[in-house]
């Protein structure tokens, strides 16, 4: 199993609206403080639990064809992690699923 996972979602929402909603989803989903990494990227660090030493979940929002493209990534915090046991994929799917309910996906 990989130490990271990534998935993208194209939406009809403007980049500022998508960016705001991504921040809400990250905060609500992982319960930690959301960090604005740049003008287009938000990130949150998950807590250590029985399944992992924590992950870094980030979302980049970019303009795309009259709407936005949201790229969700999750990677293990520890570089020595060999297997994530599906945790990064679960993190990405949780964010994508929540965004599908809040935003207006294309296609």
Given a cut of 60, whether residue 63 has pLDDT beyond it is yes
In a domain? residue 97? yes
In a domain? residue 80? yes
Q: CATH number, domain at 8?
A: 3.30.530.50
In a domain? residue 107? no
Given a cut of 90, whether residue 51 has pLDDT beyond it is no
Tell which phi-psi region holds residue 37, choosing left (phi > 0), alpha (psi between -120 and 50) or beta: alpha
Which structural domain, as residue segments, surrounds residue 96?
4-102
Mean predicted confidence (pLDDT) in 29-34: 94
- Helix, strand, coil fractions of the chain, as percent rounded to 5: 30, 35, 35
pTM metric for this prediction? 0.92
Given a cut of 60, whether residue 1 has pLDDT beyond it is no
Q: How many domains does the chain have?
A: 1
pLDDT of residue 36: 98
Mean pLDDT, the chain, whole residue set: 92
In a domain? residue 50? yes
DSSP H helices in 11-86: 15-30
In a domain? residue 58? yes
CA distance 107 to 89: 22
Mean predicted confidence (pLDDT) in 23-37: 96
In a domain? residue 70? yes
pLDDT tens track for 15-25: 999 999 999 99
Residue with tokens 């965004």: 99
In a domain? residue 91? yes
């Amino acid at each position: 199993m990989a130490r990271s996972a990534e998935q993208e979602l194209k939406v009809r929402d403007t980049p500022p609206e998508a960016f705001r909603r991504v921040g809400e989803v990250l905060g609500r989903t992982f319960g930690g403080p959301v960090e604005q990494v740049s003008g287009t990227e938000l990130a949150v660090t998950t807590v250590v639990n029985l399944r992992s030493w924590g992950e870094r979940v980030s979302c980049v929002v970019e303009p795309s064809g009259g709407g936005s493209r949201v790229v969700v990534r999750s990677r293990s915090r520890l570089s020595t992690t060999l297997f994530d046991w599906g945790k990064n994929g679960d993190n990405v799917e949780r964010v994508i699923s929540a965004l599908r309910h809040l935003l207006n996906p294309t296609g």
